[in-house]
Amino acid sequence: MPLLLAVFFLATATLYASVGFGGGSTYTAILAATGVDYALIPIISLICNIAVVAGSCWRYGRAGLLSVQRLAPALAVSIPLAWLGGRMQLSEDAFLYLLSGALVLSALVLLVRPPRLAGVSSTGAAGWALYLAGGATGLLAGLVGIGGGIFLAPLLYMMRWGEEKQIAAASSLFILLNSLAGLAGQFSKPGIAMQPVIDHLVWLVPSVVLGGWIGNHLGIHILPANRVRQATGLLILVVAVRLLFRAAG
């Protein structure tokens, strides 16, 4: 089972990193579907997220695609809420329903391309939308172990915030910082059993680091982002439906 999980995580990291994401939503779903203790799932997913997007941020930065200052409004709200979400306790049923809903929304976001709005700036209503999106995705990141960039990216696209690869770079940074904050919140909970986490990470972290490097290289230099995004959306939708059936008993 550890080797099979590692293969799934490598494939997930490759797909997600090619469009600037970390893969946390699908890591979480895979772990939930394989019976891992739900209380440990966000910790494992967030660490894998960090392992992928840290490298992505470095490579996007070297390529001159990363702008921290322009993303600051969303980060200012998302980071503290990601930490707060990490500290909150959920029942297993609530965790599965929340995760399934987040996955369905993630899949729709990837499959349905939003329109690029003309004459939109980051200081008016769109600016408030950026704050709200940052807050909501930050809280979700801490609760279920995702980075939230998958929800931020479509909003940035609609706002004409930047070119496709600049948005992918911004999403990577957003995911990295939210994942770090969410992980800090998770570790502040009492009674975390670290040995099962370590046993999984020994296999999974090398897999996602390799997948992240491959996917990020492909995304920057080779693959058309639209095709990869659609394939990722279909993958998430299948996993989400399976989890909904499990949550419903």
Q: What is the pLDDT of residue 67?
A: 77
Q: How does residue 233 score in pLDDT terms, banded at 50, 70 and 90?
A: confident
pLDDT in tens, 154-171: 778 777 777 777 888 888
Q: Which pLDDT belongs to residue 155?
A: 76
> Looking at per-residue confidence, does 228 or 155 come out higher?
155
At 220 the pLDDT is 59
In the prediction, which pLDDT does 159 show? 76
Q: Which of 11-15, 42-46, 190-194, 245-249 has the lowest mean pLDDT?
A: 245-249
* Span of 3-7, 84-88, 204-208, 243-247 with lowest mean pLDDT: 243-247
Say if CB 30 and CB 5 are below 8 A apart: yes
Q: Residue 64: which region, alpha, beta or left (left: phi > 0; alpha: psi -120 to 50)?
A: left
pLDDT, position 143: 86
Domain count, the chain: 1
- Residue 176 pLDDT: 93
pTM for the whole thing? 0.84
Nearest to 168 by CA among 160, 157, 158, 159: 157
Q: Which residue has the higher pLDDT, 240 or 114?
A: 240
Most confident region among 18-27, 78-87, 212-221, 232-241 by mean pLDDT:
78-87
Give the residue carrying structure tokens 């070297």. 62
Please determine, for residue 182, whether its predicted confidence score (pLDDT) is greater than 60. yes
| Per-residue confidence (pLDDT) for residue 124, from 0 to 100 | 56
Which domain covers residue 70, as residue numbers?
2-247
Residue 74's CB is within 10 A of a number of other CB atoms, namely 29
Asked if pLDDT for residue 172 goes beyond 70, the answer is yes
pLDDT of residue 211: 92
Task: Report pLDDT digits (tens) over 103-137.
Answer: 887 788 777 766 665 545 555 555 677 788 788 88
pLDDT at 74: 84
For position 48, what pLDDT does the model report?
94
* 12's tokens: 């997930």
CA triplet 45, 188, 145: central angle to 5 degrees? 20
| Three-class secondary structure assignment of 66-116 | CCHHHHHHHHHHHHHHHHHHHHCCCCHHHHHHHHHHHHHHHHHHHHCCCCC
